[in-house]
């Protein structure tokens, strides 16, 4: 009691998490840049975890250094990424082929990431909540002697530290003309009136040899 009013003192250990608003004060740029507009992984990860589920498809039409594909691969999302230049595509391809990720436990191994990750409550020696499920203690739960609400922290699935995971199979497709294609089109522009090559001679009909009498 404080005077005539009842008050509640909430400790950080009761629920040490806060919701993100629309103002993020983190540094938006990546610490190590391989591309001029490379975004920090944590921003893409934050957006992806808030708006998608494991197994969902992510589309990034501006590939850049491949951060979206990298984060999607890390968190069990499928991905498609596109760019108009060979440079970012080569950077993204190298990044994906040389990356390793944590091995997250799945609800159903046979279904893959679409079945979802496993989350468990876990505490360290100090009693701090370090798992993917944390209790949320509120004045209502204390006043009514209720069990605290359990909240899932989506970026803390159960992982197996003894297993390393690499990027799964993916297809690298390019519709950008090769240097040879550019040279061919350039030659056609220089000589537009060049007659086409003569047609190939017709193929003779296939005939069977006459039967042999025995």
For the packed helices 86-97 and 67-74, what is the interaxial angle rounded to 10 degrees? 20
- Maximum CA pair distance of the chain? 124
In the chain, the number of structural domains is 2
Is 30 in the same domain as 93?
Answer: yes
Residue 40: name the closest of 12, 14, 68 by CA: 68
Is 94 in the same domain as 31?
Answer: yes
Percent of the chain with pLDDT over 90: 41
Evaluate if residue 198 carries a pLDDT over 90. no
Is 54 in the same domain as 113?
Answer: no
pLDDT the model gives residue 11: 65
Evaluate if residue 190 carries a pLDDT over 60. no
Evaluate if residue 94 carries a pLDDT over 50. yes
Is 71 in the same domain as 108?
Answer: no
**Whole-angstrom distance between the N-terminal and C-terminal Cα of the chain?**
119
Which residues form the domain of 72?
A: 25-101
pLDDT the model gives residue 158: 96
Is 82 in the same domain as 125?
Answer: no
pTM of the model: 0.71
Percent of the chain with pLDDT over 70: 72
pLDDT the model gives residue 214: 44
Q: Of 127, 148, 164, which residue sits at a domain end?
A: 164
Integer CA distances (angstroms), 8 to 12, 13, 15, 141, in order: 13, 14, 14, 12
Q: Does 80 reside within a domain?
A: yes
């Amino acid at each position: 009691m404080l005077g005539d009013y009842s008050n509640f003192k909430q400790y950080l250990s009761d629920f040490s998490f806060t919701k993100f608003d629309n103002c993020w004060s983190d540094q938006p740029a990546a610490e190590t840049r391989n591309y001029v507009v490379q975004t920090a992984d944590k921003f893409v990860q934050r957006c992806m975890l808030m708006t998608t589920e494991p197994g969902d498809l992510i589309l990034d039409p501006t590939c850049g250094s491949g951060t979206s594909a990298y984060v999607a691969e890390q968190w069990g999302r499928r991905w498609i990424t596109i760019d108009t230049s060979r440079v970012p595509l080569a950077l993204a391809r190298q990044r994906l082929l040389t990356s390793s990720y944590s091995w997250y436990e799945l609800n159903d191994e046979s279904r893959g990431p679409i079945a979802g990750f496993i989350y468990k409550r876990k505490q360290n020696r100090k009693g701090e909540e370090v798992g993917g499920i944390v209790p949320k203690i509120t004045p209502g739960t204390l006043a009514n002697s209720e069990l605290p609400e359990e909240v899932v922290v989506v970026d803390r699935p159960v992982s197996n530290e003894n297993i390393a995971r690499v990027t799964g199979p993916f297809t690298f497709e390019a519709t950008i003309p090769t240097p040879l294609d550019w040279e061919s089109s350039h030659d056609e522009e220089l000589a537009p009136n060049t007659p086409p090559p003569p047609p190939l001679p017709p193929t003779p009909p296939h005939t069977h040899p006459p039967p042999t009498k025995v």
